[in-house]
Structure 1
Amino acid sequence: MKTFKLKELGEFKNGLNFNQDDYGVGYPIINVKQLYKSRFASIENLHELKLDFKNNIDGYFIKKNDLLFVRGSMVPSGAGQAVMVNDFLPGTVFSGFIIRFRTTNFSKIIPLFLNYLLRSPLCREKFVRIASGSVHSNMTQDILGNFEVELPDLETQKQILSVLDSIDSKIEIIEKNNFILEKIIQSIYKSWFIDFDGQTEFVDSELGPIPKGWTSSKLGDILSLLRDGSHNPPLRVEKGISFITGGTLNFVIEYDKATYITDEDYHKIQRNYQLQENDLMLSTVGTLGNVAIVRATDLPLSHQRSAAMLRVNEKANFVFLYCLIKSPGFKLFLDTHQTRTAQPSIFLGTLSSFAFVLPSTKLLDSFFRLGFPLIKKMQDNCSSILILEKIRDSLLPKLMSGEIQVKV
């Protein structure tokens, strides 16, 4: 094992600065939100800069095996987040909120190994310590360049990669499976409840023609409880009851982004109600519309103001509610009714006014019987992913120290 500073292994470059008027058709641009989904930068739904972008764009194109660092984070836990460039569209560039690292010293490091190392709990903890105490956890080329990593020889790196890459490949297969399941359930929802496929008799309503026997409703009509979280965040502790934000919601709750509070504070915050299995959590501050379904294994659970709890009543079911909240119509509602402040948000009263067509009880029951197994399978897949991620993260230090040997 030898210690190196990152500036001894490659070179850094800050990304492009631009404004809203520079968007158009031309250069796909990777932004911060593309750096949090997996080990590789996401290339889905990228914004683009105009081909006649006013600034010199040479030198800002990405290449395979580049590492991209988050330049600034509102919380220390996001400091130094890094992913690798794998697949990408020709002419893709990166934004000014990102610092690019390009490996030059291939005799000392394999880029994919460095990606794993920088994303491991060991390095993540170091980045958080560096960022602690700062109002806005900024990373600079100087800070990253002087960041030290311990490296085994290239052969050992290859052996370790054979194990870690195998685990991540399994994770990515499960994630693709979940993507397909999500597409299936949303396609059925659209067919039945938006396109009204199979319906032959219609009546007029305030929402236009709707199937006979259905009703024009509002979100508040099908909820028995709609609550936001604590407006006065209590003191955080190292271990305790999870205290989640809207940023932790991604079908399931991502606990690596959560903080913790004491049992005493939990009972103060949740004294009037407690979260239950199959409640829905919705992000209402910041990135609006993130959704998660509460599982039995999540409980007990508490939440901050940026996450609202939705509990369905006897008029519907949580599977229908989940698809309703994921529908394009609801996303458009959030976009047009959010407050235009530094932190976009939506009031719970406004949220409960969202209008939609409530189908017959018989059709709702049929949809639940069809959709519940899909939701359950997606939840089980998420649990499998969590287990594999824990195995992967625990293996890296043991493989590097030689505690576990790889035979190839």
Structure 2
Amino acid sequence: MAGEWRTVRLGEITDWASGGTPPKDDAKYWGGAIPWISASSMYGNRYSDSELKLTETGLARGSRLAEVGTVLLLVRGSILHQRVPVGIATRPMAFNQDVKAIKAKEGLSPWFLLYWFLGKERNLLELVDFTGIGAGKFDTKQLQELPVNLPTLSEQEQIVAVVKALDDKIELNRRMNETLEAIARAMFKSWFIDFDPVRAKASGEPPESICRRLRLTPDLLALFPDRFVDSELGEIPEGWEVKPFSETVQIIGGGTPKTSVSEYWGGDIPWFSVVDAPAESDVFVIDTEKKITQTGLDDSSARILSAGTTIISARGTVGKVALVGVPMAMNQSCYGLRGLDGGSFFTYYATRELVSTLKQHSHGAVFDTITRNTFAGVSVVTFQPVVTAFETVVTPLMEKIKANSVQGRTLAELRDTLLPKLLSGELRVPVRSAS
């Protein structure tokens, strides 16, 4: 046992609070500036924003505010089958009834509390109750009884410094990816959705001004025409084509080896399912929760997808999009899409742009489903020279995103290896003297 450490109950050193949800059908509660955390916004372990936001009225009506430094833990949800979402509030935010706000008492570092939860995820998963229908849940009283091997506050802070240095780099990479991805997405929208270069040329704007404003070289600008023509989708650039999306991609199906055959599972071939879909800014999927063997691949309808293939979830949870970063297989609830004329990144962004339309065209008696015919029912506007130019321009951005994601995973693996040793006292860090 590590000296100067003491064993306490989690509930002794923390205060717990429950959240809530204002009525969803009342506009006065929503669309404000207060982030509202639910399972869908619990990515990573630093929470600063969310898609849904409350007004001050909404906060007073159905939720409460978690202060900066509060740990937010998901205690009910289907995702608890795979992982335990937990993070720390880096700005004041509200949270729903499926989330507990856990505040560290005096003598406990909030960041140490966060890393304690992260380091205990495997143990926590064993406590999830699945006896109900659908979502799993924690018994919070049971969680509060869990023993915590607690160092002195000084050593807590040193442990946090070691782990947080890794996390800071992971977070820096994530933010960089967010910026790079936003640039690539904005470029796609400007070129293929809004047709900004064509509109600028058609308006008579001088080429030098267009290039400066839209960050184009003269050679790139020359690829765009200076007028529009009518089409079934409205005005499109002269010389461009409207095509069914299915005619621009190869559509690839997936498969699942029999789960009852142990020889098919636990290999080294990543096998994608919807739980592996990355956050939008991450773009690439470079690892998966489950892996299969070569025998499992050979004895099933699964096939290897090459790097650069776009994956879209097509059944149940429809419309999750990822870009394959390393060769992998996927299950039958997804489709792989490969551009017929190259255009890996064009295909990826075109798929993301079409997600809402594909969802509208999905159907199914039990689950929403995208079929091969669904892809034939939506169209894209394309012109191969501009697609090729787009690939050339965005490839360095996308490769940097991929490299950052790979590095982030390596750092996360190192963090996850260190955490149990640091939390148990097996690995000690030197504590600086007060002088």
TM range (shorter): 0.7 to 0.9
| 1:40 and 2:46 matched | yes
TM-score of the pair, normalised by structure 1: 0.85
Deviation at 1:49, TM superposition (A): 6.0
Amino acid at match of 1:334: L
Name the SS of the counterpart of 1:403 in structure 2. Answer: coil
State the AA in 2 paired with 1:374.
L
Q: Do 2:35 and 2:51's aligned partners in 1 also have CA atoms closer than 8 Å?
A: no
- CA shift at 1:404, angstroms? 4.9
Aligned partner of 1:247 in structure 2 is 275
What is the CA distance between 1:352 and its match in structure 2?
Answer: 3.8
Distance in 2 between the 1:340 and 1:19 partners?
Answer: 29
1:378 positional shift: 0.8
In the other structure, the counterpart of 1:184 is 183
- CA separation in 2, counterparts of 1:231 and 1:353? 31
Take 1:40 and 1:176, find their aligned partners in 2: how far apart are those partners? 12
Give the equivalent residue in structure 2 for 1:99. Answer: 100
Q: Secondary structure of 1:378's partner?
A: helix
Q: Secondary structure in 2 aligned to 1:325?
A: helix
Q: Deviations over 1:142-172 (max 9, x none)?
A: 2321223222221111111111122211112
What residue identity is the alignment partner of 1:16?
A: G
Match of 1:71 among 57, 60, 75: 75
Q: How far apart, CA to CA, are the structure 2 residues paired with 1:310 and 1:52?
A: 42
Q: Read off the aligned partner of 2:72 and give its amino acid letter.
A: L
1:112 aligns with 2:111: yes
| CA distance, structure 2, for counterparts of residue 25 and residue 187 of structure 1 | 24
Q: Which residue matches 2:340? A: 313
Report how far residue 65 of structure 1 moved: 1.6
- 72-81 or 174-183: bigger deviation: 72-81
Q: Residue 405 of structure 1 corresponds to which residue in structure 2?
A: 429
The equivalent position to 1:84 in structure 2, one of 83, 88, 99, is 88
**Aligned residues of 1:181 and 1:378 also touching (Cα < 8 A):** yes
| Whole-Å separation in 1 of the counterparts to 2:367 and 2:101 | 27
Cα drift, residue 332 of structure 1: 2.7
How many angstroms does 1:344 deviate by?
4.4
Deviation at 1:304, TM superposition (A): 2.0
Structure 2 CA distance for partners of 1:6 and 1:343, relative to 1, 3 Å = farther
Aligned partner of 2:180: which letter?
Answer: L
After TM superposition, the structure 1 = structure 2 runs for residues 79-228 of structure 1, keeping only pairs within 5 Å, are: 80-88=84-92, 92-104=93-105, 106-107=106-107, 109-120=108-119, 123-131=120-128, 134=131, 136-196=135-195, 197-198=197-198, 199-228=225-254
The percent of aligned pairs where both chains have the same amino acid is 22
What is the number of residues matched between the two proteins? 389
Inter-partner Cα distance in structure 2 for 1:358 and 1:74: 40
Residues 113-153 of structure 1: CA distance to partner in whole angstroms, max 9, x if unpaired?
11011012xx1110122227656321132232122322222
Deviation at 1:240, TM superposition (A): 4.7
State the Cα deviation string for residues 7-37 of structure 1 (Å, max 9, x = none). 11122233214443145345642211221x2
Q: Cα distance 1:128–1:254, how it changes in 2: closer, same or farther (>3 A)?
A: farther
The higher radius of gyration belongs to 2
User: Does the Cα contact within 8 Å between 2:257 and 2:296 map onto a contact in 1?
Assistant: no
Report the CA distance shift for 1:346/1:149 in structure 2 as closer, same or farther (over 3 A): farther
Q: 1:337 to 1:244 in 2, by over 3 A?
A: same
Q: Is the 8 A contact 1:131 1:137 kept in 2?
A: yes
Q: Residue 381 of structure 1: SS of its match in structure 2?
A: helix
CA distance in 2, matches of 1:388, 1:269: 34
For the Cα contact (< 8 Å) 2:73–2:99, is it kept in 1? Answer: yes
State which of 393, 400, 421 in structure 2 corresponds to 1:370: 393
Structure 2 Cα separation of the partners of residues 48 and 81 of structure 1:
21
What runs of 5+ residues in structure 2 fail to find an aligned partner?
Answer: 199-224
Q: Which residue of 2 aligns with 1:350?
A: 374
- Give the structure 1 partner of residue 350 of structure 2: 324
Counterpart in 2 of 1:266? 297
Q: 8 Å contact 1:83–1:115 — kept in the other structure? A: yes
Residue 3 (structure 1) aligns with: 7
Query: 1:55 offset after TM fit, Å?
Result: 4.8
Contact 2:72–2:99 under 8 Å retained in 1 = yes
Q: Aligned residue for 2:219?
A: none
Choose from 16, 25, 31 the match for 2:20.
16
> How far does the alpha carbon of each residue in 1:328-379 deviate from its partner, in whole angstroms, 9 at most, with x for none?
xx133134234488754433321342211012x2222111111111111111
Shift of the 204–29 alpha-carbon distance from structure 1 to 2, 3 Å rule, reads same
Q: Show structure 1 runs of 4+ deviating over 6 A.
A: none
Q: Give the whole-Å Cα distance in 2 for the aligned partners of 1:309 and 1:56.
A: 42
Taking a change above 3 Å as real, the CA distance of residues 305 and 5 of structure 1, as seen in their structure-2 partners, is farther
> Counterpart of 2:38?
31
Cα separation, partners in 2 of 1:211 and 1:52, compared to 1, 3 Å: closer
- Displacement of 1:321 in angstroms is 0.6
Q: TM-score, normalised by structure 2?
A: 0.80
